């Protein structure tokens, strides 16, 4: 049995504990939310805050834009299939956060299935696997609703 672990680079960016959520950071000085979480300086140009608290984002949002990844991205991207199969990439306005977050659509969702305004939900899915691990990442799944 393989162990589920976040894909390289995505550690601390999402969680399944207490419900699926992206993990951002909120500046304690001005309240600006960032994803991924800010590391050293607030992203608000009018603020010089350097302290942050965890901000859980999601689990739903609205498609703001989308595209088709027809060509395999270069490393460090790892394709889930060999040969590479195109997938949809979504820019999602995450409910209540004011942020637009990129992520792949779940397998089987094509660009033809999407429209700006489509409602989606966050899922944690396997990006790729090896003998010991399933490497996970967040993805977006249409809910069947529109805004």
Which residue's entry shows tokens 């790892």?
A: 78
Report yes or no on 120 lying in a domain.
Answer: yes
**Could you tell me if residue 45 is inside a domain?**
no
Is 114 inside any structural domain? yes
The verdict on residue 36 lying in a domain is no
Q: Are 13 and 57 in contact (CB under 8 A)?
A: no
Segments forming the whole domain that contains residue 63? 59-146
Note whether 76 and 135 are within 8 A (CB).
no
For residue 108, the SS3 value is coil
How far apart, in whole angstroms, are the C-alpha atoms of residue 93 and residue 147?
A: 12
Rounded to whole angstroms, the Cα distance separating 90 from 63 reads 7
Number of domains in the chain: 1
Residue 4 lies in a domain: no
Closest of 85, 116, 117, 91 to residue 35, by C-alpha? 91
pTM over 0.85: yes
Residue 95 lies in a domain: yes
Domain-embedded: residue 121? yes
Tens digits of residue pLDDT in 115-146: 999 999 999 999 888 899 999 999 999 998 87
Residue 70 lies in a domain: yes
Q: How confident is the model at residue 109 (pLDDT cuts 50, 70, 90)?
A: very high
Higher-confidence residue of 132 and 72: namely 132
d(CA 61, CA 103): 12
3-state helix, strand, coil split of the chain in percent (to 5) is: 0, 50, 50
């Amino acid at each position: 049995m393989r162990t589920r672990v976040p894909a390289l680079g995505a550690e601390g960016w999402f969680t399944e504990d207490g419900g699926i959520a992206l993990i951002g950071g909120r500046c304690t000085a001005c309240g600006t939310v960032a994803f991924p979480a800010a590391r050293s300086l607030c992203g608000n140009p009018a603020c010089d805050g350097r302290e942050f608290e965890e901000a859980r984002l999601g689990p739903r949002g609205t498609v703001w834009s989308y595209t088709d990844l027809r060509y395999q991205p270069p490393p460090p991207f790892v394709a889930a299939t060999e040969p590479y199969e195109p997938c949809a990439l979504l820019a999602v306005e995450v409910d209540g956060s004011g942020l637009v977050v990129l992520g792949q659509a779940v397998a089987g969702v094509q660009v033809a299935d999407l429209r700006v305004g489509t409602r989606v939900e966050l899922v944690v899915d396997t990006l790729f696997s090896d003998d010991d691990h399933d490497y996970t990442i967040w993805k977006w799944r249409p809910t069947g609703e529109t805004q």
